A and B are shown apart, each in its own frame.
Chain A
Amino acid sequence: MLEVGEVTVAFDGTTVLDHVSISVAEREVVALLGPSGSGKSTLLRVIAGLLVPDAGTVAVDGTDVSALATHLRRVGMVFQDEQLFPHRDVAANIGFGLKMAGTAAPARARRVAELLDLVGLAGFGHRRVTELSGGEAKRVALARSLAPEPLVLLLDEPLTGLDRELHDRLEGEVAAVLRSTGITAVWVTHDRDEADAVADRIITLS
């Protein structure tokens, strides 16, 4: 489902990614493990099209998307610090991708309600995102990126900044959501236990 071939990225002469290739099968959840500075987030940005690599290719569902802009790639992403839109409520955040895809309002509302259910936040639609707790914000971010049904979902250290107890609970919940939707996912983490718990397979970057 996802093929990354020989990607190389250098910032100001320092090579961050050196001919990196990974391959992820359909419905597979892969953990990308490595210490900070090993280029995990950079690789995610290359896959999402947020960063143009110095060399290498990215293919999604058999199509080479290397030359495609981010919004045309159908690659979703959960950002490290959520990046929820502060001027929109929870429902509008989750429905954003559907709106971009031109989904009509009634269908959008149904899908948003469905996703709120999925992440255990039913009835939260009209909350302001600035009033959410840390765990709630993470769930909204996950629901938002799942809403437009991307072909591949990228998660950039989605559980950092949570206390131990919440971290462990969300770890299970998010993994369960990924399984139930059957999505292809790349989960970046620096935590070996987290990788073991959520992923079908672990790829280590050094």
Chain B
Amino acid sequence: MPRWFVAVLAAPPAVFLVVFYAAPFLTLLARGVVVDEVGDVLGRRRTWEVAWFTTWQATASTVLTLVVGIAPAYVVARFRFVGRRLLLGLLTAVFVLPTVVMGAAFSALLPASLDRSIWAILAAHVVFNLAVVVRTVGAVWERLPPDLEAAAATLGASPWRVLREVTLPLLRPALTAAGAIVFLFTFTSFGVIRILGTAARPTLEVEIWRRATQLGEIGPAAVLAIIQLVALGVVVGWSTYSQRRHSLAIAMRPATVTLRAARRARRRRERILVGLTATATAAVVTVPLLALVERSMRSDDGYSLRAWRTLGDAEVRRGISVSVDPLGSLVRSIQTAAWATALAVGIGAVAALAIAAAGRLGRALDTGLMLPIGTSAVTIGFGMLITFDTPPIDWRAEWWIVPVGHALVAVPFVVRVTLGVLRALDPELIDAAATLGASPTRAWREITLPNLWRPLVVGAGLAAAISLGEFGATSFLSRSGQETMPIAIERLLGRTGTVIQAQGYALAVMLAAATIAIVLAVDVTGDITGDVSGRRGRRRQKSKAAHARGR
């Protein structure tokens, strides 16, 4: 590709990144590092209470998730059984659900007395993040030779001591990695807390939102955002350091030995253990979703489809109307997702082409486009809100600001998937086409282009799923009367009235179904992509799909 053309390709994504990510981020920093403001915020007792609650609920969630996840991780890693793949699929499906849906599911499941308690929050966090522990720890456990444990047993170690002296020390890097991810997710928990928490006990993320949008305290909110940023940096740094220190176990298994550790359960005790663990895990992740469906059909006089039938009716009962229009939010979400997807795919595609063709500058663009994944959605939304607020760039009321925010989060996924396929393409194919008389443009059209549509379809699916479930940034950017589904769900569940709440649950059911359907479709398409990009690309993509939630 000629250099000028690469520059032309790279320009739109670069401009997009600078205007909608870098500028808002810097504006936020500038608002947050004002000495007086910082001193004021740090001097308030409330700040420390919020920071303390954020930290301890994240720590408790992480420890609980690790404890609960260890048994299913063991069973999945060590045994082949009927429904094993289904169980893993279920866990992943729950993991990619929008945060608001997860909050709604536990709000539906738990009795009113527990609904807005810390127990509801912890339970939701554990179920939500179980997949992280089971997959991360299970993958390492699967590679751990069972004979290592057998050797310990022949040396006189009881099963309990084998676990303590051999298995757990070797799983430690995986446990640390999984723990760090769960901690990051729960420390920045927003959607779940907005639904299950109370005003008295918010996380930093929720407090930023409350100060900025409910109380209009932009400065203090910006300071909190920076405190959160620093805390996250510390956690990421610590986990990277700790994993490097304990990395010996990774090199433990020589690649040449392809011993299949997993087997059928032989002993009766093993069969009971496998059966019980698998069933319990499946129940833990499905019951909240079933509760969601059940509550959507509950009305004052038994079960009915009334909530579903009246979705289009803003007036729930004669004279009682809610300011939220459920059916309208559905339509708006679909429109928003369509625009966000188009934008993300367009920008992601040209960015991937430019990155693949350019050298060092390409890598810079690649890194830059990845940054929004590492930034909390609330920070992104907040930054945009306070940057585009003065004429001539007062864009807060523009209809396209929400899709732009969603696209910002979705572009990295499109880029990764597309780049994977582009890099897997054998450059000699282009050479071969040239020797057969194809001009460079023609060769590109004949060889590269036909291979691009699949990653772009996958990327589009991911972008749509992200946009449909996005709650953090949207909380800042959406206007009243212009709610997307997640916003509408949160509003509806916050009201009293069985039918109104049932409508919220009905919306959550639809959102959950749509997300799971899209992710399943992406998974199937990803399978077909395997013949171009190889297995590597597919696996990467999967973890991306898993990453897509949280926003």
Which positions in A face B, CB cutoff 8 Å? 45, 48-52, 69-72, 74-77, 79, 81, 83, 85-87, 96-97, 100-101, 128, 130, 144-145, 147-148, 150, 154
Contact status of A148 and B249, CB under 8 A, knowing A70-B150, A79-B147, A83-B148: no
How far in angstroms is the closest Cβ of chain A from B101? Answer: 41
User: Which residue from A52, A71, A130, A154 sits with its C-beta under 8 Å from B156?
Assistant: A71
Question: With a CB–CB cut-off of 8 A, which chain B residues contact A86?
Answer: 170, 248-249, 252
B249 touches A50 (CB 8 A): no
Mask: chain B, 412-442; 1 = CB below 8 Å from A; 0 = not: 0000000000000000000000000000000
Contact status of A100 and B157, CB under 8 A, knowing A83-B147, A87-B170: yes
B170 touches A148 (CB 8 A): no
How far in angstroms is the closest Cβ of chain A from B90? Answer: 28
Of residues A70, A77, A147, A148, which shows the largest number of chain B Cβ atoms within 10 Å of its Cβ? A70
B155 touches A148 (CB 8 A): yes
Closest A residue to B170 using CB positions = A87
Q: Which of B147-163 contact A (CB under 8 A)?
A: 147-148, 150-159, 161
How far in angstroms is the closest Cβ of chain A from B35? Answer: 48
How far in angstroms is the closest Cβ of chain A from B253? Answer: 9
Number of interface residues of B (CB under 8 A): 25
User: Which residue from B153, B252, B267 sits with its C-beta under 8 Å from A71?
Assistant: B153
Closest A residue to B151 using CB positions = A83
Question: With a CB–CB cut-off of 8 A, which chain A residues contact B150?
Answer: 45, 48, 50, 70, 77, 79, 83
Instruction: Offer 29 A-B interface pairs, CB within 8 angstroms, sorted by A.
Output: A50-B150, A50-B153, A52-B267, A69-B159, A71-B156, A71-B157, A71-B158, A71-B161, A74-B156, A75-B154, A76-B154, A79-B147, A79-B150, A79-B151, A81-B145, A83-B147, A83-B148, A83-B150, A85-B151, A85-B152, A86-B249, A87-B248, A87-B249, A96-B152, A96-B157, A100-B157, A130-B248, A130-B252, A148-B156
Closest A residue to B149 using CB positions = A83
B494 at the A interface (CB under 8 A): no
Q: How far is the CA of A128 from the CA of B252 in the complex (A)?
A: 12
Question: With a CB–CB cut-off of 8 A, which chain A residues contact B260?
Answer: none
Q: How far is the CA of A86 from the CA of B254 in the complex (A)?
A: 12
Closest A residue to B147 using CB positions = A83
B257 at the A interface (CB under 8 A): yes
B166 at the A interface (CB under 8 A): yes
How far in angstroms is the closest Cβ of chain A from B530? Answer: 30
Question: With a CB–CB cut-off of 8 A, which chain B residues contact A74?
Answer: 156
Question: With a CB–CB cut-off of 8 A, which chain B residues contact A70?
Answer: 150, 153-154
B154 touches A48 (CB 8 A): yes
How far in angstroms is the closest Cβ of chain B from A181? Answer: 16
A130 touches B154 (CB 8 A): no
Closest A residue to B266 using CB positions = A52
Question: With a CB–CB cut-off of 8 A, which chain B residues contact A144?
Answer: 155
Q: Which of B238-266 contact A (CB under 8 A)?
A: 248-249, 251-252, 257, 266
